Amino acid sequence: MINHDYNSLFKPKNIAIMGASNNIQTFGTMHLLNLISGGYEGDIIPIHPKQEKIAGLKVYKSIKEVPTQVDLCLMVLPTKIVVEKIQECGEAGVGSIIIVSAGFKEIGNYEEEEKIRNIAKKFNINVVGVNCIGEIIPASKINMTPIPIYPEPGHVALISQSGTYACHTLISNQDLKFSKIISLGNETCLDIVDFLDYCRSDEETKVIGLYIEGIRRGKEFFEAASKTTPKKPVLALIIGSTEAGSRSALAHTGAIAGQSNIISSILKQTGIIQVETGLELLNSLMCLSNQPIPKGNRFGVITVGGGPGTVFADLLEKNNVKVPKLSEELQEKLRNTLPETAGVSNPIDITFDRDWGNLFKKVPKLLLKSPEIDGIVLYGIFGMGFFSKIIEGSPIDLSFMKYNEEMADMFKSVVSKELKGLINLGKKYNKPIIGSSVFRRNDDFIIKFCQDNGLPVFVLEDSIKPVINMVKYAEWKKKLAKN
C-alpha cells in the first residue's frame, strides 16, 4: 500500500496543485503562494477547470492534460470530489499526493477514506492526509502549508498529527532548522510509523519530534520506535490524556480517545522522551540537533545572577540532573581566576565580575575540560546594547562619559570573539552548552547571533527542560549500552 520511494514526496521535480485560485483568501491559494515565495525551483502546475492563469502560472484543466509526469500533487478540494481526483492522479502516474481536504473520518465519513486507501494501493501512490496541513521540506525549498514560514535546512524532523503544531506554532521558535516537517492528518494511508521508519535512516535527520493524538498501529509503532532511539533521539508530545483533551482529539483527527496512558508506557519502553508542551518540544529539539549528547548527568551552572543560578540548580536537581559540588582542586582553579566575591562551588556565580573573558572563556573552559562536568548551562548571554538606554534616556548631556563608544567596542568584541570562542570550546570538548538570557531573538541581536552560530539560547528557566531532556536521552543510551 505504500510506495516507499519518497523522492516524489520530498524531492519532487514538479508539483501540481488542485484547489488554488486567484482568490488569496482560500487555503489552496495560500499553499500555492507559499510554495512560490519559498523559492521552490521545480515546475509548479496549477490544475483548475476554469481559470487560464493562476498567480501568473499556466493552468491545466486536469492532471491528465499535463504533458510531463507529475511527482507530487497537493489537493485542497471539496470533500466530495477528492476520490475522483485521486483516481485521475493514479491514472496519470502521480507519485505522491498530499490531501488537505477535510470532512472524512473525523466527522464519521469512513467510507470515502476507504476508497482513497484502495486507489492509493492500486496505483502505488504515497498519500499523505487527508485532513492535514501539508509539508515543509527546507532542503527542497518547499513550504506547502498556508503559513508563511521558510525555515532553513537542518537536522530536525517533525512528524505531527496536528497541522497547527506542524507549521503555525513554529513561528514561536524562528531559529529551528528542519530536515522535514510532515503533517499527518487522519493518516488515511501513510502514518506515523511510516515516517518514523523513514526518518530513522534519513541522513539529514538527527533528531525527531512527534505530536501524537493516537497510534493506529501499536505493534509496528513499538518496533519502529525501538529501532530508532538507539540511533537518534525521539521526543513526543502526547495529547488527549484527559477527558476534555480526548474529546478534542476525537473531533480533530478522529483519534481514538483514552489511548494516552498506553502511549506513554510505549514511549517509556522504547526510549522516546515525552514532553509536556510544544514549546518544550521545539526548544529540546533545537538543543539535541546542534549540541553533543552529554556523556552523563553532571552539569555546571555558570551565572551572572545568584537568583537564576539557584533556581536553575533546583530545577535541574529535581529532575535527575546533578549540579555537583566541584572538587577542591577545581574550585581552587576557579578561585585563582575569579574575584573574591565569586561563588565557585557550582553554581559558579560571577555576578560582580565584569570580565567577559571569565564568563565566556576561562570558567567554561575549566568546567568543560574537567571530567567532573558533562555540560554547561550559562545564564548571562546579553549584548550590552540595551545599556545605551541609560544614556539615550538622560535629560542631562552625558556624552562626556564616552559610554556609547566604550560599550559598542565591548559589545562588538563579545559578539565576534568571546561568544565564538565559547561555541568553539563546546565543539573542542564535545560537551553541550545551553545559553540563557532575558532577551529573545527579536529583542537583542546577540541572541540571533548565538542561535545562528549553533549556540541555543532561551529565556531564563526555559533553558532547563532541554537540558533535562538531553540527559534523559543520554541515560537511555547508557541503559542500552549496558544491555
Which parts of 118-147 interact with its own copies (CB under 8 A)?
A: none
CA 373 to chain centroid, in Å, comes to: 27
- When binding is defined by CB under 8 A, the residue of 269, 327, 394, 424 that contacts its own copies is 394
Torsion over CA: 452, 456, 457, 462 (sign) = positive
- Residue 264, interface with its own copies (CB under 8 A)? no
User: From the CB of 457, what's the least distance to its own copies, in Å?
Assistant: 12
CB 98 within 8 A of CB 195: no
- Residue 399, interface with its own copies (CB under 8 A)? no
Neighbouring-strand partners of residue 14? 43
User: From the CB of 347, what's the least distance to its own copies, in Å?
Assistant: 5
- Residue 395, interface with its own copies (CB under 8 A)? yes
- Residue 442, interface with its own copies (CB under 8 A)? yes
- Residue 230, interface with its own copies (CB under 8 A)? no
Please enumerate in sequence order all residues whose Cβ is within 8 A of that of 130, keeping only pairs 6 or more positions apart, or say none.
82, 99, 100, 101, 102, 104, 113, 116, 185, 186, 188
- When binding is defined by CB under 8 A, the residue of 1, 2, 257, 460 that contacts its own copies is 460
Of 112-120, 222-230, 247-255, 446-454, which segment contacts its own copies by CB under 8 A? 247-255
- Residue 356, interface with its own copies (CB under 8 A)? no
Write the CA distances from 137 to 231, 282, 355, 410, 477, integer angstroms: 22, 17, 43, 40, 29
Q: Please report, as residue ranges, which positions from 77 to 116 form the binding site for its own copies (by CB under 8 A).
A: 102-103, 107
Write the CA distances from 477 to 85, 236, 397, integer angstroms: 47, 17, 60
- Residue 332, interface with its own copies (CB under 8 A)? no
- When binding is defined by CB under 8 A, the residue of 24, 262, 408, 480 that contacts its own copies is 24
Peptide bond before residue 471 is cis, with ω within 30 degrees of 0: no
CB 368 within 8 A of CB 423: no
- Residue 483, interface with its own copies (CB under 8 A)? no
Residue 7 and residue 244: Cα distance in Å, rounded?
Answer: 39
Nearer to its own copies, 92 or 398 (CB): 398
Sketch the per residue contact string, 267 through 286, with its own copies: x for CB under 8 A, - otherwise.
---------xxxx-------
Residue 140 and residue 136: Cα distance in Å, rounded?
Answer: 9
Residue with cell 526510549: 271
- Residue 43, interface with its own copies (CB under 8 A)? no
- When binding is defined by CB under 8 A, the residue of 68, 389, 482, 483 that contacts its own copies is 389
- Residue 257, interface with its own copies (CB under 8 A)? no
Which residues of 427-478 form beta strands (DSSP E)?
Answer: 433-437, 457-459
Residue 64 and residue 23: Cα distance in Å, rounded?
Answer: 24
Any idea what the Cα angle at residue 314 is, between residues 309 and 315, rounded to 5°?
Answer: 100
Please enumerate in sequence order all residues whose Cβ is within 8 A of that of 469, keeping only pairs 6 or more positions apart, or say none.
235, 273, 275, 280, 284, 287, 288
- Residue 459, interface with its own copies (CB under 8 A)? yes
Nearer to its own copies, 171 or 480 (CB): 171
Residue 433 and residue 467: Cα distance in Å, rounded?
Answer: 9
Residue 418 and residue 376: Cα distance in Å, rounded?
Answer: 16
Nearer to its own copies, 33 or 139 (CB): 33
- When binding is defined by CB under 8 A, the residue of 352, 408, 478, 479 that contacts its own copies is 352
Q: Please report, as residue ranges, which positions from 400 to 439 form the binding site for its own copies (by CB under 8 A).
A: 400-403, 406, 438-439
- When binding is defined by CB under 8 A, the residue of 4, 5, 37, 409 that contacts its own copies is 37
Of 111-119, 202-210, 355-363, 389-397, which segment contacts its own copies by CB under 8 A? 389-397
Residue with cell 474529546: 247
Residue 480 and residue 483: Cα distance in Å, rounded?
Answer: 5
Of 2-10, 11-19, 116-124, 159-167, which segment contacts its own copies by CB under 8 A? 159-167
- Residue 194, interface with its own copies (CB under 8 A)? no
User: From the CB of 37, what's the least distance to its own copies, in Å?
Assistant: 3
User: From the CB of 193, what's the least distance to its own copies, in Å?
Assistant: 20
Nearer to its own copies, 49 or 393 (CB): 393
